Amino acid sequence: MVRIRALWSMTAVRLSLIYTLVFGLFAVALITYTTANTTRLLLQQTQRAVNDEINDLSLIYRSGSLSRLIRVIERRARAPGASLYLIADSSGRIIAGNVRDIEPGILGKKGWTKEPFPYEGFGHDDEFVHYAVARVFDLPGGLRALIGRDLGEPDRFRSIARRSLILALAIMVLLGILTWVFVGRRALRRIDSLSLSSKRIMAGDLQERLPLSGSGDEFDRLSANLNQLLGRISKLDEGLKQVSDNIAHDLKTPLTRLRNKAEHTLSADASKAAYRKAMEEIISESDTLIRTFNALLMIARVEAGSKTGDFSTFDLASVLFDVHELYEPLAEEAGVEFTITAAPSALVRGNRELLGQAVVNLVDNALKYAVEENENQPRVWLELTIDEFHAHIIVRDNGAGIPEADRERVKDRFVRLDKSRTKPGTGLGLSLVDAVARLHDGGFVLGDNEPGLVADIMIPLDKSTSR
């Protein structure tokens, strides 16, 4: 019982059984319909033949006499494979014809017999009961005649139909089982191998992937999708690992510095002014730590971020003008020529605040690096251009730039090139820009401004709202 239930719980078994059942029902219905129709047709044909014969005989009777009619009937009755002929007197005694015995009630009613009736004919030496349909009519002189046809033919047909029905059902059941064996078992094996692999993956190795048969069928598509899912999970997992590594390396260092400073101040016999100075340093160091921590969380959030929450459609130009307006006084004070050129309109769908922060990070950097070691007039350009599919936010400066070999690396978290180590900063600014660009399905590329750095954020244009 348990085993049957277990068997039933398999999709393949269930599907095969249902399939067999439905198909069988259809077959039975079809064959029944065909048989019934054919039987009716055969019956009609038989009746027509009998009617024709009666008309024929009545012609003979009208042209001759009763004795001639009986002679004709006797002759016809002796022919092989003949119809049923019977003439009886008023008491019901059979006086002529090829019927030996008949149910007594049959001759009582005139016209067509309602149902096929059994009879016994001469020369019937087999054990079968023969059935016939017949028409009964009166002859002059109190005689009664019956002319009919044996139903052997339709009966044989019915039995053939019944046999083929049973055969068809047997084949159907056999086919169902075979289908299950070949299709179902194969599918089951694939599913088993899938669930086995996923168990292994769950047990630990996120790098493992589900096997593909290469046939491109549903199972392959399912496996491919699950593999993509695994890829995304392991990427997020790596991101998480990286963040915790970062925290370990780059937050522990300043924390240690903080602790050492406090410890040193406490152990030294310091003056009140020295205490004060140490405390101020500690506060500023903690502020830097907090800022770093916030930036890290922010990047993690952007990287895990959904696109729906804070996304809206807006003009990127307004974001750039805001940033330019915010930084323009600072640039002027630092003696940097800070210009903005923006395409009239660049509608994008995105998170306005995050894009604003990305541009601020780039402009902040550009201003910082434009002023140092620059014999020329320091300059920063903020530009917005559009091509067919993207808006480009381009921030250029004529500072020292970044060597080509380092341009990808600086996007990673906490990567600071040696010359910038002495400056304030978390080493997270470009990582955030990169994360924001990726959140918007865009890109972030660093290049050479000859001299200086050119940073390009690509954001897809929002085509749905443009004319």
Partner 1 sequence: MKILLIEDDLEAADYLMTSLKEVGHVAEHAAEGETGLAMAIDGDYDVLIVDRMLPKMDGISVISSLRKEGIQTPVLILSALSQVDDRVTGLRAGGDDYLPKPYAFSELLARIEVLCRRRVSGESETNYVVGDLEMDRLAHVVRRNGVEIILQPREYRLLEYLMKNAGQVVTRTMLLENVWDYHFDPQTNVIDVHVSRLRSKIDKDFDEQLLQTVRGTGYILKSEKG
* Site residues (vs partner 1, CB under 8 A): 286, 290-291, 294, 297-298, 301, 309-310, 322, 325-327, 329-330, 333, 353-354, 356-357, 360-361, 364, 367-368, 424-426, 429
Q: Measured from the CB of residue 423, what is the shortest distance to partner 1 in angstroms?
A: 10
Instruction: Give one word for 176, left, alpha or beta, with left for phi > 0 and alpha for psi -120 to 50.
Output: alpha
Using CA atoms, how far residue 52 sits from 143, 145, 453, in Å, is 21, 15, 111
CB closer to partner 1 out of 87 and 302: 302
Residue 321 Cβ, how far from partner 1 at the closest point, in Å? Answer: 11
The amino acid present at 450, given as its one-letter code, is: E
Closer to partner 1 by CB, 193 or 318: give it: 318
Give the separation between CA 146 and CA 137, rounded to whole angstroms.
Answer: 6
Q: Which two tokens stand for residue 332?
A: 């002027």
Cβ atoms of residues 440 and 350 within 8 Å: yes
Report the residue number, 111 or 309, with the smaller CB distance to partner 1: 309
Residue length, the chain?
A: 467
User: Are the C-beta atoms of 138 and 132 separated by less than 8 Å?
Assistant: no
Considering beta carbons, is residue 154 or 429 the nearer one to partner 1?
A: 429
**How many CB atoms are closer than 10 A to CB 285?**
16
Q: Which residue has the tokens 């640039």?
A: 331
- Compute the C-alpha angle 402/386/361, nearest 5°: 40
Nearer to partner 1, 101 or 325 (CB): 325
Within 64-142, residue ranges assigned H as helices are 66-78
Distance in Å, CB of 274 to partner 1, minimum: 19
H or E, element range at 455: strand 453-460
Cα–Cα distance, 247 to 413 (Å, whole number) = 10
Helix (H) or strand (E) run with residue 396 in it: strand 390-397
Which residue's CB is nearer to partner 1, number 12 or number 302?
302
Q: Least distance in Å: CB of 354 to partner 1?
A: 8
Distance (Å, whole) CA 84 – CA 119: 10
Angle between helices 185-202 and 11-63 (to 10 degrees): 160
Q: How far is the CB of 360 from partner 1 (least distance, A)?
A: 5
In the bound state with partner 1, the residue whose beta carbon lies nearer, of 364 and 383, is 364
- Nearest approach in angstroms of CB 363 to partner 1 is 9
To the nearest whole angstrom, how small is the minimum distance from the Cβ of residue 305 to partner 1?
9
Question: Which residue lies nearer to partner 1 by CB, 318 or 345?
Answer: 318
Shortest distance (Å) from residue 391 CB to partner 1: 21
